[in-house]
Structure formats: structure tokens, C-alpha cells
Amino acid sequence: MAEHGFGSRRSGTAPGARAPARPRSRARPPRRRTLSELRPWVKQGRYRIGNHAAKHATCEGFTESDIVQTVLYGRELMRYWEDERLLVLGYLPVSASVKIPLHVVLEYRTHRWVDVVTAFIPHDPHRVPSRARLAEALRYDRDEPRSRVVGPASGR
């Protein structure tokens, strides 16, 4: 029988005996972080670029530096509280007058670490999110929408 690794016997247990059961841990609620909380970790280099983000960068022609600049100087577009993720919008300067939008999805499940899940140039950057997606985002956002109706439908 192997000393260590898969299939090894734990010290202190008789052959054929089961190890004491661990107490079940409750599923922790998702952490709620904002982009301003994640930026210091990225500045310190505490981030990982995922395979999906690397593939998009290679295919679409942007670099790791572009991803980092988007995180440091971009803005939050959407918060996905349940998945512990953020969608960040930044811009790639192509020339003095032309900038291309870059979306970066960050995951902050790991303590004091940021994973870049994916990064991509959106096909339709001005698309408005669907009502279902917007409702899902607002449900976990805790921010009250600041809006008012103006015009003939307002009843004023």
C-alpha cells in the first residue's frame, strides 16, 4: 500500500475503518466586491489571465497590458453577485481619435486574488441589456435605480 497519495491509509485508523466524518460546512454567501476593491490587487500583480481571455487576446489583437489597463482605468458595466464576477468596460486606443471598447470579466472567488475569466471586443457595444438581464443585475445590486419619467407620459 502506498505511503501517501490516493488510496493510502490514514495514520491512527484501523484497516477497514472509516475516517471520522468532517462537520458539514454551510455554503458561504457570495462576496460582494466592487471594481475599486479589486484594483489594488491587480496593481500588486495578484491576478491570473484565464485561457479563454488569452485566446480572445490572441485572436482579436490585444495584450495583457490592455486587459490590466481596462481593469485599472475602466468602469463597471455589470455586477454578477451570485457568480462573484464583474464586467468591466475599457477602451483600446487605436489612434488619437479612435478607441475600441474592451470588455473584461473578473472573478474574485479566491481570497485576495483576481481571475480574468475572459476579455473580448464586443460585437455590438451599444446594445442595451435585455429586461431579464437588467432585472437580474438590479436584484443583486442593492442600488436603487435613480430615474424619473419626463415628458407627456409623466402625468405632470
The answer to the question of residue 51 being in a domain is: yes
What are the pLDDT digits (tens) for 48-98? 999 999 999 999 999 999 999 999 999 998 888 888 999 999 999 888 999
Instruction: Name the residue among 126, 8, 107 with its Cα closest to residue 53.
Output: 107
Residue 80's domain comprises 35-140
The answer to the question of residue 7 being in a domain is: no
Work out the pLDDT band at 4, boundaries 50, 70, 90.
Answer: very low
Domains in the chain, number: 1
Q: Residue 56 burial by CB count (10 A; 0-12/13-18/19+): exposed, middle or buried?
A: buried
Is there a contact between 50 and 67 (Cβ–Cβ < 8 Å)?
no
- Res 16 pLDDT > 90: no
Euclidean distance between CA atoms 57 and 63, whole angstroms: 6
The answer to the question of residue 115 being in a domain is: yes
The answer to the question of residue 73 being in a domain is: yes
Q: Whole-prediction pTM value?
A: 0.66
